[in-house]
Structure 1
Amino acid sequence: MQEKILFVDDDSNVLATYQRILRKNFQIDTALGPFAGFAAFDTRGPFGVVVADMNMPGLDGIQFLAKIKEKSPDTVRMMLTGRADLETAVDAVNEGNVFRFLTKPCPPETLMRALEAGIRHYRLVTAERVLLDKTLRGSIRVLTEILSMVDTKSFGRAEALRNRAKRLSKALNVTDTWEIEVAAMLSQIGRVTMPPSITLKASTPDQLTEPERDMLTRSPEIGQHLLANIPRLESVAQIVLYQNKHFDGTGFPADGVAGVQIPLGSRILKLLADLADIESDPEQRHKALEIVRSRTGWYDPGVVQAASTRFTHLAEPSPAGVKPSRPVGVNELRLGQILVSDVETREGLLLLGGGSRVTGAYLVRIRNFARLVGIREPIMVEVEQAAEE
């Protein structure tokens, strides 16, 4: 697909000229002035290259391109101006990060070469970003699989939490759910620094000593420090830090942050983690939404409302709210199946939590344990159905 190029100028005759001389070789769009340029970005983008005139009323070319950089960092920015002074050029580079600085009148051949170079640069930047994105996603997937095998108690249900977080985020009109999904997968990463005995007692707080309870409480802070060192995971780290924070500002960390100041991802994870805890008791499962509604100040009301709409099965008595499942043996497990029951060895060692999706690594692990020590069978998996929106 040919990348689109946007020309922004306050002179309609100049814009018409650009269209006439360039439309045979490029996909050209135009906007009369900076504010029309912003509207074009919002309604007709994305654009691979934007070329702006320096002297425009209301907002000059430098200011316009600086805002375009905030809106679309990958878009290549160029400037056309009749003022070829050094100060203007320096400001354009420093504030707008312009790729080319062209002076008027600009010969068509020079303009075409600049646009071709801009498109090549745009393709290079976006291809590199896509590659980095895929590498990061793949690395996180491998990391979470390894963590779930090393500490099944903490990470065994991460996949189920991720799936719910994605669905709830979409219900809240979050367009890019990736950061929230990653935060769900890595929400318990701070626990890898703790003695296994503490992790095992996490579900029974009454058995914890005061120092152990404090260590568990502060685990999101440890997770935040671990993730903050990874490029592009800074926002994920903040979600992890505030995952146990109450909407009214109580809870950890005790820093005065409250309400919508808490990252939306954290507000989502807080509700979903508590719902999962309630659901672990079959007798309380159908009361899960009722219970969270009764906890005044704990949750974002908007998130609770979205969950009430999205997860209606939590208000239904079992078995109506339970997804259809079927029993399988170890040899019948297949990639992509979703577990309903936990997978445990005959001695009761938890290998993988219910709600997890079977991956290649998980399948190898289960089969290895089945050969050596045996697995409790049958294993309950969801009956395959059409994917939910």
Structure 2
Amino acid sequence: MEKNTDLAVVADPDKEVQTGFERLFGTHMRIVCFSETESALKFLKQNNGAAVIFSSFNLPGRGGTAFLRAAETVAPQAARVMLTRETSAEAIKKTLNEGHAFLYLEKPCRPADLASAMETALAHHIQLAKDRALLERTLAGSIKLLIDMLALFHPEAFRRTSTVRKQALRLAKRLGMKKTWELEMSVMLSPLGEALLPKQIIARYRTARSLSEQERTILDKSPVQTRDLLKNIPQLEKVSEYLYLSGRGFDGSGFPKDGPTGKEIPMIARILKLLTDLWYASPESGPDAAAFEALTINKRKYDPMLLELAKDTFLDNVPEERKKLIAECYIRSLRPGDVLIDDALTETGHELVLSRGHMLTPTTIRRLEHFNQAAGVRQPIRVERHLAPEEVLSDTA
């Protein structure tokens, strides 16, 4: 077996079993052992990269079957294996049907059989990871299409997604987050609840104008509507919960009133809270010292570590390799990937066509063309254009 960094969790109160796993596999992979269910589940929640989970049938705590079922929720890509001396058909049926175990091994288990089981389980884990990656790419593409379509009808609500997504990825890198799919999906879908609300309520809320009791009730239900729309979509259950809690302040303020506080709030929800408020506090050119000063007034609403990290990240000088060109373009010269610096408005009625911060796609460029043919669009349009390395060289030659 080649040396790798796969993680296997062994939940079995038998110290000889734990020692056996460490002796057989400890030089090739990371083995972490537990004697009961709750400490094992806590570890899995904090370390979601487990490849294989072994459990004894009579495991102290909630039992082996219930443990494997709970482990499936927190570590869905891990192959689950039951180790037991129980040989009854009922025990096997319970393990496979209720615990969703991939393999069932009888104790005592010969080292060769255990090694074969580990190899088979690792192959199953790799296949699960590939299937999930394919599903995530497919779902991400579908959501991107959905967001593009919604942005055509609700440009005001979705204007921030492009900017906030870039900021979220920069923070994730600083935080050492290896998997950012749920964070990106949360950012892209974060305006969904706002898009479902009457525009006049959003306008009054964003300009700090007073709301009637009925309007406040409608506004407060927005996160609930978002969660209810997404929670039944496979792979988006956690995203729906992050969005539900994204208005919750670190100090316990905000929605929901009886929600978690401090670090009990999921990290992604805390990031969304900070970056959404930062976007509204920032000028068109991006976050500045004044924007962070505005957030500092209510700093108890934000994770202090995230607030300082964001300030350090976004107020830092832009590296030389990330040079950008500010271009004034007519519609025929726009490119996918260009980011609008100003709102795109109709020529006469000044109707909002696309909001500032919107990253252009072939679909949105066609929208501008259609509006220009029908009512005229104010041109030239200022965009931020990221240069390829060869463009930077030719521009400075």
TM-score of the two chains, using structure 1 as the length reference? 0.73
Q: 1:250 aligns with which of 245, 249, 253?
A: 253
Q: What's the offset of the Cα at 1:29?
A: 4.8
Q: 2:159 aligns with which of 152, 156, 159?
A: 156
Between stretches 152-161 and 303-312, larger displacement belongs to 152-161
1:357 corresponds in structure 2 to: 359
Q: What's the offset of the Cα at 1:101?
A: 3.2
Give secondary structure in 2 for the equivalent of 1:327.
Answer: strand
Q: Identify unmatched segments of 5+ residues in structure 2.
A: 35-39, 390-397
1:141 corresponds in structure 2 to: 144
1:325 corresponds in structure 2 to: 326
2:393 corresponds in structure 1 to: none
Aligned residues: 367
Matches of 1:309 and 1:242, distance apart in 2: 25
2:345 corresponds in structure 1 to: 344
Give secondary structure in 2 for the equivalent of 1:293.
Answer: helix
Give secondary structure in 2 for the equivalent of 1:205.
Answer: coil
1:288 corresponds in structure 2 to: 291
Q: CA 1:116–1:192 in 2, change beyond 3 Å: closer, same or farther? A: same
Counterpart residue type for residue 341 of structure 1: D
**1:51-102 CA distance string (max 9 Å, x none):** 889999xxx9989978975775334345677775556645654676433335
TM-score of the two chains, using structure 2 as the length reference? 0.72
Q: CA 1:295–1:14 in 2, change beyond 3 Å: closer, same or farther? A: closer
Q: Identify unmatched segments of 5+ residues in structure 1.
A: 20-27, 317-321
Q: What's the offset of the Cα at 1:151?
A: 0.7
Give secondary structure in 1 for the equivalent of 2:327.
Answer: strand
Does residue 172 in structure 1 map to residue 175 in structure 2?
A: yes
Alpha carbons 2:248, 2:259 under 8 Å: kept: no
2:305 corresponds in structure 1 to: 302
Q: Which has the larger radius of gyration?
A: 1
Aligned CA RMSD, in angstroms, stands at 4.7
Alpha carbons 2:337, 2:385 under 8 Å: kept: no
Q: What's the offset of the Cα at 1:191?
A: 2.9
Correspondences of 1:61-100 after superposition (within 5 Å):
72-78=75-81, 84=87, 86=89, 89=92, 92-93=95-96, 97-100=100-103
Q: What's the offset of the Cα at 1:250?
A: 1.7
Correspondences of 1:191-340 after superposition (within 5 Å):
191-206=194-209, 208-255=211-258, 257-280=260-283, 285-312=288-315, 325-340=326-341
Matches of 1:5 and 1:236, distance apart in 2: 25
Q: What's the offset of the Cα at 1:304?
A: 0.7
Does residue 187 in structure 1 map to residue 190 in structure 2?
A: yes
Counterpart residue type for residue 370 of structure 2: N
Percent of residue pairs identical: 32
Q: CA 1:69–1:326 in 2, change beyond 3 Å: closer, same or farther? A: same
Q: CA 1:138–1:6 in 2, change beyond 3 Å: closer, same or farther? A: same
Q: What's the offset of the Cα at 1:277?
A: 1.6
Alpha carbons 2:245, 2:259 under 8 Å: kept: no
Counterpart residue type for residue 360 of structure 1: P
Q: CA 1:80–1:206 in 2, change beyond 3 Å: closer, same or farther? A: closer
Alpha carbons 2:343, 2:352 under 8 Å: kept: yes
Give secondary structure in 2 for the equivalent of 1:220.
Answer: helix
Give secondary structure in 2 for the equivalent of 1:368.
Answer: helix
Give secondary structure in 2 for the equivalent of 1:277.
Answer: helix
Q: CA 1:142–1:202 in 2, change beyond 3 Å: closer, same or farther? A: farther
